């Protein structure tokens, strides 16, 4: 009772000679089509030999071609009676003891489908007619998301709550067609000529998915930026389509059970833009500045700033300005900026202390010999 595998592998040219009349995927489908009725191909101007029947109703002995990337679902009175995920040619036989109801294929589809089949399979002898529908097993692109106002999440990189307006798109995959059709697809789409498309604006079920994705963005951002394996870096999100997709898929699954109840999963994401709010932009600037001033790069930047300050002090304040800069650099420990020291400041009227500090500045190259001689003469009252 069910399907007999007749041809495997390349089925195109071979069936053009062997099968004059068969059912397969309709031509001209958009890349985002998820579920649609099988259509006859063959001798009768593309309609097949059954001129009086419905386009997706197959009778005993009908041939069906399942292309790569698609699964075949058979229905009887609204109930799923067969499923195929292996590409090839099949023949429907209700009276053959060798026929089967399910061909699960390889990869992730196999264990998921087998589990669902055992859960939902129906007993009894099916009638003579079966309705045939194809379901896409490919990644379905161009599923877009976006927020009209800021979403907020706890960010591990900035160590505070941040907010942003974001938009992008994701690819969706039907990982369990039986769950998908049984628990999610409206009955109105299980009709000849109807196409279930996730990007269709008039598809209320697809609109529900959009709302659930938007509602999951905040926890998805939080999960990603608080994952140590991602480096806790908010800036990596736009470069990591697979990593963020997993966070988004996990957030959707936690909140709405897409995979376990509907057989759906988010595979990849493409974030077009993230527009942070004013507070977050200011935080990012501060953190980026701190990153730039850390470590060896920070020492170089600080030494350059000290040198610039010395030059400005020399131009504007003469030796007095240089003296002040010298004490500042002495406190910071030029040449060892990573471990600043804070020696006690010498008394302002102690000439020995002044000369000692001036000599240190001369040795460090912060003042010239002429500057030192001038300071020495002033300190000794010469």
Average pLDDT over residues 330-335: 48
Higher pLDDT: 375 or 99? It is 375
State pLDDT tens for residues 108-158: 556 666 666 566 655 545 555 788 999 999 999 999 999 988 999 888 777
Res 219: pLDDT: 92
**Total domains, the chain:** 3
Clarify whether residues 279 and 348 are in a common domain: no
Using the CB atoms, write b or e for 89-123: b if 16+ within 10 Å: bbbbbbeeeebebbbbbeeebeebbeebbeeeeee
What pLDDT, on the 0 to 100 scale, is given for residue 248? 93
Euclidean distance between CA atoms 174 and 165, whole angstroms: 28
- Kindly state whether residues 301 and 272 are assigned to the same domain: no
Shared-domain flag, residues 110 and 218? no
Instruction: Examine the fold and report which residue of 253, 286, 319 is the final residue of a domain before the chain moves on.
Output: 286
Q: At what angle do helices 241-256 and 204-225 cross, to 10 degrees?
A: 120
Half-sphere exposure of 308 (CA within 13 A, CB side): 6
Tokens of 293: 């001033």
Q: Do the Cβ atoms of 241 and 268 come closer than 8 Å?
A: yes
Does residue 273 sit in the same domain as residue 308?
A: no
H or E segment and range at residue 250: helix 241-256
d(CA 41, CA 58): 12
* 3-state class (DSSP) for residue 166: strand
Asked whether residue 151 falls in the same domain as residue 225, the answer is yes
Q: Are residues 264 and 320 in the same domain?
A: no
Confidence of residue 203 (pLDDT cuts 50, 70, 90): very high
Residue 337: pLDDT band (50, 70, 90) is very low
Same domain, 229 and 307: no
Considering the domain architecture, whether residues 200 and 220 belong to the same structural domain is answered as yes
CA distances from 161 to 204, 226, 248, 349 (A): 34, 12, 19, 53
- Residue 13 predicted with pLDDT over 80: no
Last residue of a domain, one of 238, 256, 286: 286
What three-state secondary structure class fits 271? strand
Regarding whether 312 and 206 lie in a shared domain, the answer is no
Q: 132 and 109, same structural domain?
A: yes
Chain segment 278-324, per-residue pLDDT in tens = 998 888 888 777 766 665 555 555 565 555 555 565 555 555 554 55
CA distance 331 to 114: 74
User: In the predicted model, what is the mean pLDDT of residues 63-70?
Assistant: 91
Residues 218, 100 share a domain: no
Tell me: pLDDT of 251 over 90: yes
181: left (phi over 0), alpha (psi -120 to 50) or beta: alpha
Buried b (16+ CB within 10 A) or exposed e, 327-357: bebbebebeebeeeeeeeeeeeeeeeebeeb
Q: Residue 363 has what pLDDT?
A: 81
Is the same domain home to 230 and 152? yes
pTM of the model: 0.66
Mean pLDDT of the chain: 77
82 in Cβ contact with 5 (< 8 Å): no
Among the candidates 136, 153, 174, a domain finishes at: 136
Range of the domain at 273: 139-185+193-286
| Structure confidence at residue 109 (pLDDT) | 58
């Amino acid at each position: 009772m069910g399907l007999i595998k007749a041809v495997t592998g390349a089925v195109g040219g071979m069936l053009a000679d062997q099968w004059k009349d068969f059912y397969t995927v309709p031509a001209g489908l958009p890349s985002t089509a998820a579920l649609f009725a099988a259509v006859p191909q063959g001798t009768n101007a593309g309609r097949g030999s059954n001129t009086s029947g419905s386009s997706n109703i197959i009778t005993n002995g009908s041939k069906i071609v399942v292309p790569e990337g698609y699964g075949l679902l058979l229905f009887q009175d609204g109930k799923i009676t067969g499923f195929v995920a292996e590409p090839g040619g099949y023949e429907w036989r209700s009276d053959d003891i060798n026929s089967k109801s399910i061909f699960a294929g390889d990869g992730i589809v196999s264990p998921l489908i087998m589990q669902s089949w055992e859960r939902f399979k129906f007993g009894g002898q099916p009638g003579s007619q079966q309705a045939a529908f194809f379901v896409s097993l490919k990644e379905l692109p161009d599923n877009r998301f976006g927020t009209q106002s800021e979403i907020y999440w706890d960010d591990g990189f900035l160590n505070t709550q941040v907010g942003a307006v974001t938009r992008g798109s994701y690819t969706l995959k039907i990982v369990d067609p039986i769950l998908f059709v049984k628990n999610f697809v409206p009955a109105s789409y299980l009709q000849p000529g109807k196409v279930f498309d996730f990007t269709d604006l008039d598809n209320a079920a697809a609109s529900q998915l959009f709302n659930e994705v938007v509602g999951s963005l905040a926890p998805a951002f939080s999960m990603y930026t608080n994952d140590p394996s991602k480096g806790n870096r908010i800036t990596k999100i736009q470069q990591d389509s697979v990593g963020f997709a997993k966070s988004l898929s996990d957030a959707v699954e936690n909140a709405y059970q897409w995979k376990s109840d509907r057989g759906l999963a988010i595979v990849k994401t493409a974030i077009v833009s993230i527009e942070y709010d004013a507070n977050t932009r200011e935080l990012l600037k501060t953190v980026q500045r701190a990153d730039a001033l850390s470590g060896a790069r920070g020492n170089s930047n600080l030494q350059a700033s000290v040198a610039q300050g010395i030059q400005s002090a020399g131009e504007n304040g003469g030796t007095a300005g240089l003296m002040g800069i010298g004490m500042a650099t002495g406190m910071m420990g030029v040449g060892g900026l990573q471990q600043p020291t804070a020696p006690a400041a010498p008394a302002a009227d102690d000439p020995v202390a002044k000369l000692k500090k001036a000599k240190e500045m001369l040795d460090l190259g912060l003042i010239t010999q002429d500057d030192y001689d001038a300071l020495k003469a002033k300190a000794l009252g010469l």
